Amino acid sequence: MFLRSVTLLRGAGTDFDRYPFAIPAIRSLDTLPFTAPVTFFVGENGSGKSTLLEAIAWQCGFNTAGGGRNHTHEVEASDAPLGPHIRLSWLPKVTSGFFLRAESFYHFASYLDRLASEDPSFNYGGYGGRSLHEQSHGESFLSLFLNRFGSRTRSLYLLDEPEAALSPARQLAFLRILHQHAASGRAQFIIATHSPILLGFPGAVIYSFDGGEIRKVGYEETEHYQITKGFLNRPELYLQELFRPEEGEED
Ligand SMILES: Nc1ncnc2c1ncn2[C@@H]1O[C@H](COP(=O)(O)OP(=O)(O)OP(=O)(O)O)[C@@H](O)[C@H]1O
């Protein structure tokens, strides 16, 4: 690991009644250690995973709309309000890496097309050799992972819901890529996800943002695992329970 921890700085400007400090998991954050090559952020929608990931990207100097340090496209770039209020501890400091958010991936692909049209020598090196728009969403995602994660320099990769575009089979392919690069010692990943498949990555540390604090949980403790397993074990029973009218409700 290169990024050892993130610390919330409390001082002037931290208004705990307003976003982003009003988010319970952020408000109670002190120092969060990173102890494995792969760390997952999990939690309910709106629990603050993207907010923290984006703040880390901001501190790294990565484009907060998605990209690395040299990607200056402004489309959808976020002002990452939490960014200036955290401190990152490194050993050693790395500057290489990438922030990927599924929702702005389209704009990132367009940005690469623009580079290609402005510079004939730009041949989509590192991106599979052709426009990401010419590949399906899932294919282009995987293409990016395959081509960018193999960097020879130590790199930090911040991924926000990478599973969004991936079929279950492609999520397994993604796990394989993750395994190869995490084992190389040159890559560290912090991944916000809702995928029970990705969360199964062996040796990963899982941080839950639920219940108003960030805490380490086991894979089988996550709601993602429990709900998916419960559903797949007995779908008919699960649905029966789910659709049962509440007391006082018309049948
Ligand atoms: N720019 C903003 N201004 C005000 N509130 C915001 C802003 N961005 C996010 N929020 C709120 O902060 C909370 C945390 O949002 P965040 O995107 O970090 O959640 P998340 O855990 O990543 O959710 P999801 O799993 O749905 O992606 C949410 O309640 C959201 O509505």
Q: Is residue 163 part of a domain?
A: yes
Q: Is residue 251 part of a domain?
A: no
Provide the pLDDT for residue 70: 58
Provide the pLDDT for residue 150: 66
> Can you tell me whether residue 237 is helix, strand or coil?
helix
Q: Is residue 250 part of a domain?
A: no
Q: Which two three-digit tokens encode residue 197? A: 């498949």
Give me the domain span that covers residue 56.
Answer: 3-243
- In 3D space, the residue among 143, 135, 220, 132 whose CA is nearest the CA of residue 174 turns out to be 143
Q: 230 CB under 6 A from ligand 1?
A: no
Nearest CA to ligand 1 atom 19: 46
Q: Is residue 45 part of a domain?
A: yes
Q: Is residue 248 part of a domain?
A: no
Q: 19 CB under 6 A from ligand 1?
A: yes
The total of other beta-carbon atoms located within 10 Å of residue 226's CB is 12
- Which long-range contacts does 59-63 make (Cβ < 8 Å, 24+ apart)? 59/83, 59/86, 59/87, 59/88, 60/88, 60/95, 60/97, 60/99, 60/156, 60/158, 61/95, 62/97, 62/98, 62/99, 62/158, 63/99
- The number of folded domains in the chain is 1
Q: Is residue 178 part of a domain?
A: yes
Helices (H) and strands (E) in the chain, counts: 7, 9
Provide the pLDDT for residue 53: 96
Distance 186 CA to ligand 1 centre (A): 31
Provide the pLDDT for residue 69: 60
Provide the pLDDT for residue 95: 86
Is the Cα dihedral 35, 40, 41, 42 positive or negative? Answer: negative
> Can you tell me whether residue 134 is helix, strand or coil?
helix
Distance 51 CA to ligand 1 centre (A): 6
Distance 125 CA to ligand 1 centre (A): 34
Q: Is residue 31 part of a domain?
A: yes
Q: 47 CB under 6 A from ligand 1?
A: yes
CATH number of the domain to which 164 belongs: 3.40.50.300
Instruction: Tell me the best of 15, 16, 18, 19 to mutate to test the pocket of ligand 1, counting ligand atoms within 8 Å of each CB and taking the most.
Output: 19
- In 3D space, the residue among 39, 77, 48 whose CA is nearest the CA of residue 158 turns out to be 39
| Cα three-residue angle 230-236-239, rounded to 5 degrees | 75
Provide the pLDDT for residue 224: 96
Distance 46 CA to ligand 1 centre (A): 5
**Residues of the chain below pLDDT 50:** 74-76
